Amino acid sequence: MAPLSIQTTHARPALSRERIAATALALVDRDGLEALSMRKLGADLGVEGMAIYRYFPNKAALLAGVVEVLLAELIIPPPSDVPWQQVFRDLSRAYRALLLRHPHAIPLLATLPLSDPAAARAAGAVMAQLRAAGFDAQSALKTLATITSYVVGVAQWEVGTAPFRAERGGAPFPLPPDADPYLVELAPQLAEDDCEETFAFGLDVIVRGLE
Amino acid sequence: MAPLSIQTTHARPALSRERIAATALALVDRDGLEALSMRKLGADLGVEGMAIYRYFPNKAALLAGVVEVLLAELIIPPPSDVPWQQVFRDLSRAYRALLLRHPHAIPLLATLPLSDPAAARAAGAVMAQLRAAGFDAQSALKTLATITSYVVGVAQWEVGTAPFRAERGGAPFPLPPDADPYLVELAPQLAEDDCEETFAFGLDVIVRGLE
DNA sequence: CCGTTGTGTTTACGCTGTAAACTACGGTCG
DNA sequence: CGACCGTAGTTTACAGCGTAAACACAACGG
């Protein structure tokens, strides 16, 4: 065969933690979280599933790697003299945008414990921001818990109610005929609702409440 | 054998949707969500796993049944002339208490779409409360989304950080030696933190913001 | 040239959800 | 009474899962 100096068989780019995690995220984005299996991921990588275990000790570690890739998309600026309200809003929106870019991965970030290194690093960076803005450590931590809970929760809510908003031009709502009367009452409002506006509403509530 | 007029073989109480769902919840509370499998649930019921399929078409339906049992624990009073702030706080605390009674089931309630009948019914009841308090439909829905997101998010946060609070009397914190420096900075504050107080803090923020 | 190391493959095991066929019992009708 | 039938639960089977263990083979340093 050919000399294969740099693995020329179809130019498969060689495995690495980064490439595996990025491909896993792409698979999740494309087919959903439950579709991520070692064998399918291996197939996407052009490799047998077991090869992944050379880079991640188990699936939990792989998912942590995906979280790392996700959180790397979130750039948290160092403390500055910008008013904290502005920083707070910007960070919230950036996190929200990240979640909406990867809706299938939201459960991964929703149940994220602080024992995850990437989560701890991001949390530390936000804490630094808040403390520089005059929050004491206790309040900063509580505020962080509050805002992340809110942002993640709303994103989950949006994804969970997305079916009601979809196809608004065609058949109005995909309500089954035996739908709950309460739901029938709620659905039209959901369709009218602009999610971005809802998010801004709650964000305003929290910022005003913090002041 | 014996006449078995009312199934006297060890008095096994006969299967039913309610008993299956309740047993499933008990299993989840005891062993965690990922430990819930049809076969193990069957064993807990004194039956083969496949028997469950006579009552639930698939596992997703079974989980929906568990959610129904969970939300049945949440009693939402009809609208009254109590000030809405009071009602709002009481409902939030009741939901929070429910989540903390079943920490392993939180992911089930976190990703709950409104297409779930039990969720829709509970949402409708809360909406009725808010509307009676003078909220217009839009605001009521946004407020509902905000508060449920917050309550669920904080509960997830608490459960996720619980390892840091556990065993505070013995070895201070179970931090691995290669822990992230940011995490090391954060952990002591977590240990000091009273979760109930954190929750009240965010709840106050939201109520004040809503006024 | 020969061992070592690193990378990926093969095989295997126990577990999962669930489709399909089967068994056994309780009541109802001819 | 005997034939029937629906209901409840069992048995068997299959494809897919995570992953442990053994293996194959290229690259490299001595």
pLDDT tens track for A129-188: 998 888 988 888 888 988 999 999 899 888 877 777 766 555 556 666 666 777 777 777
Q: Chain B partners of A153 at a C-beta cutoff of 8 Å?
A: 110, 145, 148-150, 152-153
Q: For B103-124, write each residue's pLDDT tens digit.
A: 999 999 998 888 889 999 999 9
pLDDT score at B184: 76
- Give rounded-to-5 percent helix, strand, coil for chain A: 70, 0, 30
| B99-118 residues touching A, CB cutoff 8 A | 106-107, 110-115, 117
pLDDT band (50, 70, 90) for residue B167: low
CA distances from B185 to A116, A120, B91, B180, B188 (A): 14, 10, 35, 9, 7
Quick check: helix, strand or coil at residue A97? helix
Q: For A94-141, write each residue's pLDDT tens digit.
A: 999 999 999 999 999 998 888 889 999 999 999 999 988 889 888 888
Higher pLDDT, B128 or A66: A66
Q: For B172-204, write each residue's pLDDT tens digit.
A: 566 666 667 777 777 777 777 778 888 998 898
pLDDT band (50, 70, 90) for residue A197: confident
pTM for the whole structure: 0.88
Rounded to whole angstroms, the distance from the CA of residue A72 to the C1' of nucleotide D24 is 37
Cβ-defined contact of B202 to A149 (cutoff 8 Å): yes
Q: For B5-20, write each residue's pLDDT tens digit.
A: 334 444 567 899 999 9
**Interface test with chain B among A127, A150, A165, A195, by most B beta carbons within 10 Å:** A150
Distance from CA of A16 to the nearest CA of B (A): 22
A64 within 8 A of A116, measured Cβ to Cβ: yes
Average pLDDT over residues B164-169: 66
Q: Chain A partners of B85 at a C-beta cutoff of 8 Å?
A: none
Q: Chain B partners of A121 at a C-beta cutoff of 8 Å?
A: 180, 182-183
Between CA B111 and CA B6 the distance in angstroms is 41
Secondary structure (DSSP) of B37-106:
-HHHHHHHHTS-GGGGGGT-SSHHHHHHHHHHHHHHT---PPP-SS-HHHHHHHHHHHHHHHHHHSGGGH
Cβ-defined contact of A149 to B157 (cutoff 8 Å): yes
B31 within 8 A of B25, measured Cβ to Cβ: no
B37 touches strand C (CB under 7 A): yes
Q: Chain B partners of A209 at a C-beta cutoff of 8 Å?
A: 204-209
Cβ-defined contact of B117 to A183 (cutoff 8 Å): yes
Q: For B12-61, write each residue's pLDDT tens digit.
A: 678 999 999 999 999 999 999 999 999 999 999 999 999 999 999 999 99
Q: Which residue has the tokens 């439950």?
A: A34
Whether residue A204 lies within 8 A of chain B, CB to CB, comes out as yes
pLDDT band (50, 70, 90) for residue A7: very low
